Amino acid sequence: MVNAAAITALKHDLAAEARRLGFVACGIAPAAEDALRAARLEAWLAEGRHGDMAWMQDRAHHRRSPQGLWPEAQSVIALGMSYAPAADPLALEAAPERGRISIYAQGQDYHDTVKKALKALARWLVMEAEKRDLGGADVKVFVDTAPVMEKPLGAAAGLGWQGKHTNMVSREHGSWLFLGAIYTTLAFEPNVPGRDRCGSCDACQRACPTAAFPAPYQLDARRCISYLTIELKGPVPLEFRKALGNRIYGCDDCLAVCPWNKFADSAARMQAFLPRAELVAPRLADLLALDDAGFRRLFSGSPIKRIGRDRMVRNCLYAAGNSGDPALAGPVRALLDDPDAAVADAARWALGLLEP
């Protein structure tokens, strides 16, 4: 029989170690299936709102619950790292000749930073469980790339709640949290789930440039600018191109307007997430000139590198067309015969706006 006092003490010390490693939020959720969470996932997939993200459907049976992925799991340790910005995420809206990159992607790749800290915490947990005669502990760590429902698990673990924009919201850190999870065979006492505090506020719903929220707490990824600029291969549908504005990688609008962000402190952000100067307000003219080697040099160590040169240049062409800046017509014209069909298509569209 597990010593209840010992595992309670371990949970307390776990939270302290998590803070030492840079996590600002730590909580425990059960690993068993939550019927409502699983039903919501199935309904979202059935409606096709995941778009081209086929991996969501392919491994839905693993996403239903932690135990669906790893039957031996007893607890989920949900963790959050802050990337709260010091500057206004929407400031570049008034600078159409510049490209807007989502705040989370302006620093080092969060996958690397969060996973390194998760692995350190997991190693600590295994050693402490053995030291305290708790029968040993098996662990698995996850950051965003595995079939893990980090946001609902974070809410179940008390890190905050899923807001009307479907992202995590924390009373202390607003909408600016990178999430990770450790699955473990240790049976910790779960935390009290986060309580929804959105109230009557609909700021995030009104802020969305593409009406990607069919209803509060529901997202149609096919209309989301983050999906369109990052996940979608090929041309962006015509109906959304003007709404992209100068957003070339992701979108912060629904997050940035959340009133809970007034409590977020940029001083809590990890050093690795500080914005790189060249990614804060890049000139569209410079980005349009990128070849593959130049793209890889500029975005080395950034999460942006995974979309490749063609998709980035495609996005920049939409932004160039939306800029109304005739000085960009030359760089756009140079891409009319680009080998990538989506880039060439975007160049024709942009030139049609710059040289009507």
As annotated, the active-site residues are 144
Rounded-to-10 torsion of CA 87, 88, 89, 92: -100
Computed on alpha carbons and rounded to an integer, the radius of gyration of the chain in Å comes to 22
Sign for the pseudo-dihedral over CA of 286, 290, 294, 299: positive
- Closest of 240, 98, 103 to residue 167, by C-alpha: 103
DSSP string spanning 227-263? Answer: IIIII--SPPPHHHHGGGTTEEE---HHHHT-GGGGG
Residue 159's alpha-carbon distances to 50, 83, 153, 189, 304, in angstroms, are 25, 15, 9, 15, 27
Sign for the pseudo-dihedral over CA of 112, 194, 123, 137: negative
Angle formed at CA 260 by CA 259 and CA 263, multiple of 5 degrees: 120
Cα(237)–Cα(232) distance, integer angstroms: 10
List the structure tokens of 78.
């949900």
Given a contact cutoff of 8 angstroms between Cβ atoms, the answer to whether 317 and 347 are in contact is yes
**DSSP class of 33:** P
Residue 48's alpha-carbon distances to 43, 57, 225, 267, 320, in angstroms, are 9, 9, 17, 39, 31
Angle formed at CA 156 by CA 152 and CA 157, multiple of 5 degrees: 115
List the structure tokens of 163.
């807001």
